[in-house]
Amino acid sequence: MPSDPMSAGNSVPEGLSTAISLLKQRFGERLVTNEDVRRQHANTLTWIEGEPPDAVVLAGSTQEVTEVVGVAARFGVPIIPFGAGTSLEGHVNAPRGGICLDLSRMDNVLRLNAEDLDCTVEAGLPRGRLNTYLRDTGLFFPVDPGTEEATIGGMASTRASGTTTVRYGTMRENVISLKAVLADGRVIETGGRARKSAAGYDLTHLLVGSEGTLGIITEVTLRLHGVPECIIAAVAGFPTLASACDTTMAAIAMGLGLARIELLDPLVIGAVNKHAGLTLDPLPTLFLEFHGTPAAAREQVATFEEIARSEGATSFSSAVDEAERKRLWKARHDALWTVREAWPGRTVLVTDVCVPVSRLAECIAETEIDIAASGLTAPIVGHVGDGNFHALALHRPGDAEELAKVLAFAERLATRAIAMEGTCTGEHGIGQGKKRLLQIERGEAVSTMASIKSALDPMGILNPGKVFDRP
């Protein structure tokens, strides 16, 4: 349990209480110790219990972040960076208490370089607002985890991805460089704006996905993409999950230029029909999108339909207008909430394994058998073009037995994916929830990660208890 300055006074270590006082002097009302605010900042959205910080600082600039880190370092107090709090693996929890560094006020677009297809933004900018900002430029930022609220800094920290990754990549491919504050208060810039560089170690990619444990990302330079001249959406229904997966594998193997290819199983289709007022057949279904010139996009659609039909697709519709297309993708993005709503009183553990696409059908098939054998309800949706899928394992909050069953399922699923040369997490990260799985997946390499952590944050003040436990 975190120390809690709001409860019995003597539970607060002296260093922490001094640190908070100093920050209060410096930040005034932007240093908050109100219990509601602290609890909001530890809302994990998942089975992982909230562990609120002792205080929340609303930082407004890189300079202010260095000041907070400086005070924290002086007193050995943990710092937990916070964007929108939409992560799923307990990333914003404060298991050792400490200061939550809320970056949501750092939400400016600092610079747009339209000619170079890049922009520099502050870490706290939500991805949805970035795209609103870009609306009239002919450019967009493609990476789209479930919520529009996810901040660019948080997305960089967790190496986020989404439905367009099959074409545009994850945060790994779309962060050009970044500015970060390290544990010793140093501010580093990991690169410039050149499209490539061979200048020394790739600190950009080291920080992307490091979950706030190596440095606090304050600015990000992002790669942007031209809004395609033509966008065609399509929906394909299949008799089995296997035939939907086989279609995906064939399309990927031939290098077909898909912009989105998302699988929804019949349970999800049922929930989505109800929630979004759609009338899709309750079948394993692929939601698709093709980007390009009109000729190229139409060519891709035709090739895809041919593959799908040959794999047994029972329906294929690409006559989707823009309003309908937006409704489909909103329904897909809302799938997690839709499923929660369809099973009231249940909560969801969201797995996110990713396997080589050639193993996808096999991995999903074995997972379906596992779900049935375990007596679980776990609808499946997936970014199948990347070999990445989610089982939304339902369970009753507070029911320890059900939770244990769901966690055991998640571990079997991760182990299965790892055995297929995949990963326990395609996009959600390790956080608190997958530390054991990371160990299974990467073995010796985890101790290398820990060596790097110790070198850059010897006191362990940056987001402690995430990714791995200190050696």
Residue of 2, 85, 97, 426 that binds a copy of itself (CB under 8 A): 426
- The least CB distance from residue 454 to a copy of itself, in Å, is 7
Q: Is 276 in the site for a copy of itself (CB under 8 A)?
A: no
- The least CB distance from residue 350 to a copy of itself, in Å, is 13
- The least CB distance from residue 229 to a copy of itself, in Å, is 10
Q: Is 208 in the site for a copy of itself (CB under 8 A)?
A: yes
Residue of 103, 258, 328, 424 that binds a copy of itself (CB under 8 A): 424
Residues in 166-205 that interact with a copy of itself by CB under 8 A:
170, 172-173, 182, 186-205
Nearer to a copy of itself, 349 or 437 (CB): 437
- The least CB distance from residue 299 to a copy of itself, in Å, is 6
Q: Is 299 in the site for a copy of itself (CB under 8 A)?
A: yes
- 118 touches 72 (CB < 8 A): no
Q: Is 210 in the site for a copy of itself (CB under 8 A)?
A: yes
Q: Is 463 in the site for a copy of itself (CB under 8 A)?
A: no
Q: Is 446 in the site for a copy of itself (CB under 8 A)?
A: yes
Residue of 293, 317, 326, 469 that binds a copy of itself (CB under 8 A): 293
Q: Is 451 in the site for a copy of itself (CB under 8 A)?
A: yes
Residue of 74, 310, 358, 470 that binds a copy of itself (CB under 8 A): 358
- The least CB distance from residue 279 to a copy of itself, in Å, is 33
Question: Site size for a copy of itself, by CB under 8 A?
Answer: 92
CB under 8 A: which stretch of 56-64, 280-288, 336-344, 439-447 binds a copy of itself? 439-447
Q: Is 97 in the site for a copy of itself (CB under 8 A)?
A: no
